[in-house]
Amino acid sequence: MRIAVDATSLLGARTGIGTCTAEILRRLPRPDLDVVAFAVSARGARHLGDELPPGVRTVSRPMAARPLRALWRHIDHPVVERWTGPIDVVHGPNFVVPPSRSGAELVTVHDLTCVRFPELCTADTLQIPALLTRAIGRGAWVHTVSQAVADEVLDTFAVPEDRVVVIPNGTGPMLESDALGPLAARGRTLAGGDRYLLALGTIEPRKDIPSLIGAFDLLAAADPDLRLVLAGPDGWGAGAVTETIGRSPHRSRILRTGWLEGTDRDALLAGAAVFVYPSVYEGFGLPPLEAIAHGTPVVATRVGALPEVLEDAAEWAQPGDPVSLASAITSLLADTRRAAALLEAGRRRVEHHDWNRSVDALVELYGRLHAQSAGRR
């Protein structure tokens, strides 16, 4: 079975979707699969091979994203086989799946911010509903990473329920205590202090970092040793965060790291006193699971799929409410037994979200799609 995967999200600074795509591609190669990756990018496609794991072939022909997506909103051309050659299944793991001449199509929908909160989206993101409608109309199946998003897809698009499949993301295993100690020490060095709150992810309006800064200001006034670390690349609208930091009376204790990967990222996750996820909306929420795997308790807002993913493994706060966030953070800073109980519950959630199991389920889905597509020929 020949599978084509859109790996565009591997190019540039790796965000959550890029991480998910990388984890999938790392586990896809197997004797009965021929995996080819392509990038919808005019300039970056030639570098795609550098980002791919062994066993995945690459198509390096440049493809300009905006013109192609403008076409795909209205017509089913050009088809993906123009770049990949014959395929059995094409998987678009980042909201967009190219049309195929004869292969089955699968598109991953991570969230529906573009429908639920269009005011929090860029113009490019607002094209997603039209692209999904077109893909669904020609028979594409929809993969969602949570039941919450599956329900939203069924409420929003004219897609049969049996063509929407939930396969959650995975995460790494819980780190052992002997590995956490040195990492945590490095994290505290990077943060410039022994006690810090951490937020990790692209800086964009949906993440509502200004509310977290407001909560930090409430806490920092009475806790001169507490710091706040904002780790992640600037997305659109990041200027609002810069302005909010500039107004903070405790701005000297707020650190923005920009994009991080590897040991520095792991170190900040391991060394934080509390990981805070103040989002307005999430379709899954990978960073809180990563924090738990690094031994750090989590405060999160009760929005979107987060209650489904985290269950009883987080201290919950109301979205857009600095007072609620500050109260939840305080409960973990002040009560080590509560924090430990959340981490024990979190261990079960991390074990539940296993990448090997998720990719095996995806491969099984590819087989179902291929069998149905072949039966129609």
- Reported in sequence order, the residue ranges of 44-135 that DSSP labels E, i.e. its strands, are 56-59, 89-92, 104-109
Contacts of residue 91, defined as CB under 8 A and 6 or more positions apart, other chains included, come to: 3, 4, 5, 6, 97, 106, 107, 108, 143, 362, 366
pLDDT tens sequence across 8-42: 999 887 888 999 999 999 999 999 999 999 999 88
Cα distance between residue 341 and residue 351, in whole Å: 16
Does the pLDDT of residue 150 top 70, yes or no?
yes
pTM metric for this prediction: 0.95
Of 114, 112, 107, nearest in space to 167 by CA: 107
pLDDT tens sequence across 59-74: 877 878 899 999 999 9
Does the pLDDT of residue 86 top 90, yes or no?
yes
Domain range annotation of the chain? 2-170+355-372, 177-352
pLDDT tens sequence across 168-177: 999 989 998 8
Asked: is 2-170+355-372 a CATH 3.40.50.2000 domain? The reply is yes
pLDDT classification of 271: cutoffs 50, 70, 90: very high
Does the pLDDT of residue 373 top 80, yes or no?
no
pLDDT tens sequence across 219-253: 999 999 999 999 999 999 999 999 999 999 999 99
Tokens 């028979």 belong to residue: 139
Please write down the HEC assignment for all residues of 316-354.
EECCCCHHHHHHHHHHHHHCHHHHHHHHHHHHHHHHHCE
Given this model, what pLDDT does residue 377 score? 55
Given this model, what pLDDT does residue 374 score? 73
pLDDT tens sequence across 307-355: 999 999 999 999 999 999 999 999 999 999 999 999 999 999 999 999 9
pLDDT tens sequence across 208-218: 999 999 999 99
How crowded is residue 146: how many other Cβ atoms within 10 Å of its Cβ?
24
pLDDT, mean of residues 149-178: 96
Q: Which fold has domain 177-352?
A: Rossmann fold (3.40.50)
Cα distance between residue 253 and residue 45, in whole Å: 40
* End-to-end Cα separation, the chain, in angstroms: 16
Angle in degrees, 0-180, between the axes of helices 286-293 and 16-27, rounded to the nearest 10 = 70
Given this model, what pLDDT does residue 133 score? 98
Of 358, 260, 268, 267, nearest in space to 309 by CA: 358
Cα distance between residue 204 and residue 365, in whole Å: 33
Q: What is the mean pLDDT of the chain?
A: 95
Residue 275's H or E segment, with its range, is strand 274-277
Whether 2-170+355-372 shares its CATH topology with 177-352 is answered yes
Instruction: Establish whether the linkage from the previous residue to 78 is cis, with ω within 30° of 0.
Output: yes
Given this model, what pLDDT does residue 41 score? 87
